[in-house]
Amino acid sequence: MNKAVDEVTSFMREYEAASNRRDLDHLASLITDDATYWFSDGSHQGITAILEAIRATFDVIRDETYEIRDLELVTVTQEAAVCRYHFAWTGTVDGEPQAGSGRGTNVVVKRDGDWRMLHEHLSA
């Protein structure tokens, strides 16, 4: 595997781990200021809107475990990568155990020497 593939794979696992810790500060450091996220509840443009959407999800789904499965790096260069995967989550919503799954596509870019999320599209 080349260095960029290893770095992007590691980045995606770091992003997954930060999500599971509900660490908004760490997640913010992994997302570009000009990112766009497409979730089932709508589109979110810019880091502030994205973090608000993530926080709202954390508020609804308690004790969430989020897992990225079948990670595939569609294309990787030294400066950008496109990833696709399946995701699954479990947690508590309104006091009841819930679970869900879907597909994700991410565009990851290297800025100032570090990989950052530029775009995320999650669909059920």
pLDDT > 90: what percent of the chain? 97
pLDDT of 30 reads 99
pLDDT along the chain (124 residues), means of 10: 92 98 98 97 96 96 96 98 98 97 98 98 95
User: Cα Rg for the chain, rounded, in angstroms?
Assistant: 14
Q: Which fold has domain 3-123?
A: Nuclear Transport Factor 2; Chain: A, (3.10.450)
pLDDT > 70: what percent of the chain? 99
Which ranges of the chain does DSSP label H, i.e. alpha helix?
3-21, 24-29, 47-60
- The owner of tokens 């589109």 is 43
Contacts of 88 (CB under 8 A, 6+ apart): 66, 67, 69, 99, 100, 101
pLDDT of 41 reads 87
